[in-house]
């Protein structure tokens, strides 16, 4: 079965998806041109492509931060295109995890409080079992000794590991990572990437990682290449990267 097949168990299913900005204006521009793409539970995929190819737009649509202009987006089999905003917010919180190039940690909160934040936003409080899970996650990302430190006291790589722990707090089905190592030196970058791979192997969380780094893309199981808002190539890292 090819990755583009629309199958019922696809976690993400995009069908003829289009995204246009400034609709009806003289400066109207279509950024995504009828994408068909499926991502299945348990995949670890890279999204690559030149600047301006539509990667960030696609990630925003997948992350329910922007709505597509046309076509269908099914998340866990549910069409999300016309859901009300509050329902999209709930789905974004409960089904998706986000890791960005800039970690967006709250500087006044400790690492533990930052990781617990998704629960605080969902429930209005953090119960003891939630704190226990946050501690477990910080332990899993190698930061058990830094739980009470605030982001300014942590290195860039450590801050990004806190961000990954936070993204996993509500056990998302899919983690969207936008240049998660783009701000880090080579050693920290390799470390953060290895951590995401380990989580994928141990927990089975699905990852879609936007990266400009061909070395990181080569370590993903699947590589999706966008060019000018279309899927140019989609397959194993060996095959896709060999032709670039």
Pick 41-66+84-242's CATH classification: 2.40.160.20, 3.60.15.10, 3.40.50.300, 3.40.50.2000: 3.40.50.300
Q: What is the pTM of this model?
A: 0.85
Helix (H) or strand (E) holding 226: strand 222-227
Which candidate, 75, 86, 104, places its Cα nearest to that of 177? 104
Please name the residues in contact with 39: beta carbons below 8 A apart, sequence gap of 6 or more: 3, 10, 11, 12, 45, 174, 206, 208
| pLDDT value of position 103 | 66
| pLDDT value of position 141 | 83
pLDDT > 50? residue 153: yes
- As a whole number, mean pLDDT of residues 161-184 equals 86
- As a whole number, mean pLDDT of residues 149-155 equals 92
**Token pair of 72, please?**
């269908």
Please name the residues in contact with 4: beta carbons below 8 A apart, sequence gap of 6 or more: 36, 37, 38, 231, 234
C-alpha of 11 from chain center:
13
**CA–CA distance, 162 with 153 (Å, rounded to integer):** 12
Please name the residues in contact with 106: beta carbons below 8 A apart, sequence gap of 6 or more: 113, 114, 117, 151
pLDDT > 50? residue 132: yes
Check if the beta carbon of residue 206 is closer than 8 Å to that of residue 42.
yes
Check if the beta carbon of residue 80 is closer than 8 Å to that of residue 64.
yes
| pLDDT value of position 4 | 47
More reliable by pLDDT, 143 or 4: 143
**CA–CA distance, 60 with 25 (Å, rounded to integer):** 22
pLDDT > 90? residue 58: yes
- As a whole number, mean pLDDT of residues 211-222 equals 88
Average pLDDT value over all residues in the chain: 87
Which candidate, 73, 75, 63, 69, places its Cα nearest to that of 11? 75
pLDDT > 90? residue 37: yes
| pLDDT value of position 244 | 64
* Cβ neighbours, 10 Å, residue 161: 27
How does residue 135 score in pLDDT terms, banded at 50, 70 and 90? very high
Helix (H, G, I), strand (E, B) or coil at 14: strand
């Amino acid at each position: 079965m090819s990755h583009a097949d629309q199958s019922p168990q696809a976690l993400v299913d995009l069908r003829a998806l289009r995204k246009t900005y400034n609709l009806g204006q003289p400066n109207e521009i279509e950024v995504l041109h009828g994408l068909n793409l499926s991502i299945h539970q348990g995949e670890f995929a890279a999204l690559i492509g030149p600047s301006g190819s539509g990667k960030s737009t696609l990630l925003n649509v997948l992350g329910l931060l922007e709505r597509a202009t046309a076509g269908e987006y099914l998340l866990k089999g549910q069409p999300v295109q016309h859901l009300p905003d509050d329902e999209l917010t709930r789905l974004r919180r409960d089904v998706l995890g986000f890791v960005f190039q800039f970690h967006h940690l709250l500087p006044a909160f400790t690492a533990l409080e930052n990781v617990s934040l998704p629960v605080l936003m969902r429930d209005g409080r953090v119960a003891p079992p939630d704190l226990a899970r946050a501690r477990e996650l910080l332990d899993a990302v190698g930061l058990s000794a830094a739980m009470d430190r605030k982001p300014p006291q942590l290195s860039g790589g450590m801050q990004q590991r806190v961000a990954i722990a936070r993204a996993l707090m509500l056990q998302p089905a899919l983690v969207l990572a936008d240049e998660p190592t783009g701000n880090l030196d080579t050693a920290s970058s390799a470390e953060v990437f290895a951590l995401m791979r380990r989580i994928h192997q141990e927990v089975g969380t699905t990852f879609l990682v936007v990266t400009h780094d061909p070395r990181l893309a080569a370590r993903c199981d699947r590589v999706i290449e966008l060019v000018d808002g279309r899927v140019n190539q989609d397959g194993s890292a060996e095959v896709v990267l060999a032709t670039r």
